[in-house]
Chains A and B, each alone.
Chain A
Amino acid sequence: MHSLRIGLVFIALIAVLGTNTAFADSPSVTAVLNSSETVVGETVQLQIRLKGARGADAPERIAVDGLEIHRTGTSQHFEMNNFNVTSSVIYDYTILPVKSGTFTIPSQTIRVGNNSLRTPALTLQVAASPNGQTAQRRSGASSTAEANQLVFAELIVPKKSAFVGEMVPAQIRMGFDPRAHPQLIEPPEITGQGFTAQKLQQAGENLETINGRAYEVVTYKTAIAAARAGKFELGPVKAKVQVLTPRRPTSPRSRSPFDLFNLDDPFSDPFFSNPFGQLGERREVEINSEPVAFEVKPLPQNAPASFSGAIGNFTMTTEAKPKSVQVGDPITVTSTISGRGNFDRVNASAIEDEHGWHKYPPSSKFKQDDEVGISGAKTFEMVLSPNEKKQSIPPLAFSYFDPVKEQYVTLRSDPIAITVQGGGAAAPNAATAQAGSAPTPATAARPGSAVPATAKPQDILYQLTERPQVAQSFVPLYARPHFWIAQLIPLLALIGFAGWKVRQRGINNREARRIAALQHEAAELMRKLHRGDASPREYYAEASRVVRVKAALARNIDPNTVDVETAADTFRLDGDSRERLRRLFEQSDELQYSGAHNGSGKISPENRRDVLELIEDLHV
C-alpha cells in the first residue's frame, strides 16, 4: 500500500516536469569568449550556448583569416528552477591566433528544427608575441613548476671536509607526491667531478609531511671518496621521474579540497577527485638537488712503506694453518682486517721479513656490514712456504691513515710459532694465484716435480754440455715414416707364415688323396679276387698288386717299389707265410712274363682260398 502511494507521487512529479519542459521558452543562442584578448599562439575558448533546444546544426569550424577555430566538444546541460526545467547545448570551440591584430568572429547561423538562429559577432584582440613560442613556453614553464612541486631531491653529506681517498657516507632523499603516481625513469646520480661514489643503495621508504604537503620519501645511501685535494661542490643530485599532472584548465575552476589557501595546487583539478572525469597527462620531470660544498685535504707525506691507500679505522687478526710442516710445505696464513673505511684500497698485510719464505699471491674475501661497504671485514688468505727451517711466521704489517687522529697507523701481528722440519720431501705446491686484475680469480694446482728435492733450490741447475749423436724430433713416433716402414717386417713375416701354412695344407691334401686312392684300389682288387671269374694271369697279378698296395699304405711308400721282401718285412710274416707270399709273387711274374697258361685254364678253388687267406691275414 505504501509503495503504491510512492509510485503515484513519482508519476505525478514526472508529469509536472514533462509539462514544464514542454512549455519551456523558445530556443535562443549566445556566444562568448573566455578572453577577448590574447597573444599569438595562446588559445582562447569560444562557447556557443543554445538554450531551449536539445540539438542543432552547429558548424565544425569557423573560417576567420588569422585565426584557426575548430569545434572541440559538445555538452548538454539541464537546469531546473521552480520545477521549470531548461535544457541547453554548449558547443566548445578552440581559437588559435596565428597572427596579431583585431579579429571579428562573424555571426554564425545555427539551425534548430525549421528555425535559424544567429550568434552575435565577437571581437578578439590578438597581441604580437616577442617570440613565437613564448606563450607555449610560459605554459610549459608553468606546468614544469607545477610538476616540480610534486617531487624533490636532497643530498645530505654529514662531513663537510675529508682527506683524499677517505670514504664519506652520503644520503640522498627523494620525495614524491603520492597522488602524482611517480615512476622513476633515471635513478638519482650525484653529478660533479673529483670524487668517486659507491653504488647507490636504497635504504628506506617512508611518508613525511613537508610544508603541509605529504611526500613519500625514498632514502638512498652511498659513500663518496675524493680523488684530489681542494674545494669543490658535490652534486647536484639528478634524477628523472615521470609524474601524472592534470591537464591545464581552460577556464577558472573551483578550488579543490587540497588547495585550501589558494596555493595553486595542481591537484585542484577535478581529475583527482574524479579520475574518470577527464584524463591527466604523464610528464617527465628532471629533479635537481642543491649542491653541497666539500673540502678535501691531502694526505700527509710520511706514509709508511706498507701503506696502500687504506683510510679509516681498522683492526687486524692473523692465524696460520698448519703449524707443523716440512720444508717446502704450504702454510695458509689468514689475516682479517675489519673496521670502517675504504675497503677497496685495503690490501693484504705484508710479511715483514720474507727471507727464507716463498710467498704466493693472496686471495681476498670481503664481508660488508652496511649497505655501501664502508664497514665490514676483509679476509686475506696467503700461502707461505718455508724454504728452510723456521721457528715462527714473521709479523705481518698493515698500515692505514686514521682521519680522526690525522696520522698513519701501522698494525703488526705477533709472530706465529710454527715447527718446520727440514730434510723431508717437499709437498706438491698448491698455490692460489690471484690472476692480476682479472675478474675471475685463477686457482692453479701444480703437480709435484719429477725431480725429488729435499728443499726448494734457490737457483736453477747447471748447463749440460752433452748432445746426442742424432737430432731428436718432436714428431711422435707413430707419425714418423720409419715407424710405418718398420711395420713391413712383421707384415712380411705374416705373409711368409701364411704362405707356408697354405703350402703345408696343400701337401697334406695330396697325400690324403693318394692314400684314399690306394685304399680304394685295394678294396676293388679284393672284390675281384673274391668273385673268382678272372684268368689265372689276372688273378695272380691282382693278388700281388693288393699285397703291394697294402704294404705301400702301411709304409707310406709307392706300391711299385714294394717287392716280396719289403712286403714280408712290412707285415712281419713268419717263414711259412713268407714262403707262400714269395710263391704268389713268382707265380704272378711267371704268368705275367713267361706266357704259360696265358688265357686258358682256371685256378682251383683250393689255390684261390689259399691266396685269399694269405692276403686277408696281412696286417701291420
Chain B
Amino acid sequence: MKGRKLLVDLCCAVVCTFVGASAFAQSETEFTKANQEYAEGHFKEAIDRYEALVRSGQWSANLFYDFGNAYFRTGDFGRAILNYERALTLERHHPEAAANLQIARDEARALEMQPSWSERYLQLASINQYSIAAAAAFWVAIFCIASLVFARRRSAAAIAFSTFSLLMAALSILAIYQLDTGSKGRALAIVTGKEVQARLATADTANSVLALPPGSEIKILSIRGDWIYAALPNNLRGWILAKDTEQVRL
C-alpha cells in the first residue's frame, strides 16, 4: 500500500517537471517569435506576443526590455518607459535598459520623482541584497549572543561583534523599508496615458496641478474608485485617473 502511494507521488513529480519544462520551452519559442517580429519591423505583432508572455508570468528583465523597445518603436514612450523600469526592477544593473530608458525619457520629456537623500544613499544595494544582509547579520548576532550566554567568560570582543551585527541587521531592515516605501518602491507607477493632468480633486473639471507627459513617474498614495491620489514630481500631489497609469511592480 505504502509502496503504491510512493509510486503515485513520484509519477506526479515527473509529470509536473515535464509540464514545467514544456511550458518554458513554449515560452522560449514565443519569445523567439516575438523577437523575429520585431526584427522584421512588425512592432504591433511583436507587442502582442510580448504581452502574451508577460501575461503567462514568464518574466525576465530581457523580456521587459524587448517589450519596451517594441513600444518605443511604435511611439508609445509611456509604456516603453514602464517596461524599461520593469526590466530595471528585476535587474538593477541592466545597462541596455538603463540606456534606452534615458532615451525614451528624453523623447517623452517625462518627469521623474526626486528620491530623498536617504534613498539616494541606500540605492547602493537592492532590496534583495539588503534582505540577505539583514538575515545574515541577524543570525550572526544571535549566534554570538548564544555563545556569550553559554560561555564561562564573556569577552568584550564577542559583545562588540554581536552588537555590531545587530546594528547591521537593524540598518538593513531600515534600508529595506525606505527603499520599499520610497519614490522608487512598490508604489511607483508610470503615466501611460496621453495629455494626463493631475488634478486637485476627483473630477475632470477640477483645477490642474501638473501636466504629466507620458512616462512620468508618480507614487501611488491611495486609490478611490477610478482615481488615484499620487505623489508627483516636484513634491506635488494630485488626483489622476487610474486608467492613465500602470504600476511598475506586477
List A residues at the B interface (Cβ < 8 Å).
358, 360-361, 429, 431, 433, 435-440, 442-447, 449-451, 453, 456-457, 459-469, 471-474, 476-478, 483, 486-487, 490, 493-494, 497-498, 501-502, 505
Contact = CB atoms under 8 A, between A and B. Distances in A.
B227 to A, nearest CB: 18
Contacts of B102: 449, 451, 453, 456
A445 B103 CA distance: 15
Contacts of B115: 447
Interface stretch (B1-9, B11-19, B87-95, B162-170): B87-95
A487 B93 contact: no
B135 A444 contact: no
Most buried by B among A429, A460, A469, A487: A460
16 contacts: A435-B111, A435-B211, A436-B195, A450-B98, A453-B99, A472-B91, A474-B250, A476-B180, A476-B186, A477-B131, A478-B176, A483-B131, A483-B135, A487-B135, A497-B147, A501-B146
A201 B234 CA distance: 34
Given A450-B95, A467-B31, A472-B61, A490 B211 contact: no
Interface in B187-228: 195, 197, 207-213
Interface in B77-104: 86, 89-91, 93, 95-96, 98-104
Contacts of B146: 494, 497-498, 501
Contact of A460 (B72, B142, B213): B72
Contacts of A358: 106
Contacts of A474: 59, 86, 89-90, 249-250
B21 to A, nearest CB: 10
A41 B25 CA distance: 102
Contacts of B131: 476-478, 483
B161 to A, nearest CB: 16
Contacts of B72: 460
Given A487-B135, A505-B150, A463 B38 contact: yes
A439 B199 CA distance: 11
Interface in B14-44: 24, 28, 31-32, 35, 38-39
Chain A interface mostly:
loop
Contact of B233 (A442, A451, A471): A442
Contact of A463 (B39, B106, B114, B211): B39
Interface of B: 24, 28, 31-32, 35, 38-39, 57-63, 65-66, 69, 72, 86, 89-91, 93, 95-96, 98-106, 109, 111-112, 114-115, 127-128, 131-132, 134-135, 139, 142-143, 146-147, 150, 176, 180, 186, 195, 197, 207-213, 233-234, 236, 249-250
Given A440-B236, A476-B176, A497-B146, A467 B62 contact: yes
Most buried by B among A462, A467, A477, A498: A467
A449 B98 contact: yes
A476 B93 CA distance: 16
A437 B207 CA distance: 11
B234 A440 contact: yes
Given A477-B132, A483-B131, A442 B234 contact: yes
Nearest to A361: B109
B162 to A, nearest CB: 13
A498 B60 contact: no
Contacts of A469: 24
Contact of A437 (B89, B105, B211): B211
Contacts, number: 155
Given A494-B142, A501-B146, 4 more contacts: A440-B209, A444-B233, A460-B72, A463-B35
Nearest to A446: B112
Give 6 closest A-B pairs by Cβ, nearest first: A436-B211, A501-B150, A477-B128, A438-B211, A477-B131, A450-B98
A465 B210 contact: no
B93 A477 contact: no
Contact of B99 (A443, A457, A477, A505): A457
Contacts of A471: 57-60
A465 B208 contact: no
A467 B32 CA distance: 10
A450 B150 contact: no
A466 B62 contact: yes
Contacts of B147: 497
Contact of B208 (A439, A476, A483): A439
Given A437-B211, A476-B127, A451 B98 contact: yes
Nearest to B127: A476
B36 to A, nearest CB: 10
Contacts of B210: 435, 438, 440, 442
Given A461-B99, A476-B128, A433 B59 contact: no
B59 A472 contact: yes
A471 B63 CA distance: 10
Contact of B143 (A435, A444, A462, A494): A494
Contacts of A429: 106
A469 to B, nearest CB: 7
Contacts of B31: 465, 467
Contacts of B93: 450
B208 A461 contact: no
A464 B62 contact: yes
A474 B64 CA distance: 12
Contacts of B233: 442, 444
A473 B128 CA distance: 11
A510 B197 CA distance: 80
A358 B132 CA distance: 43
B237 to A, nearest CB: 12
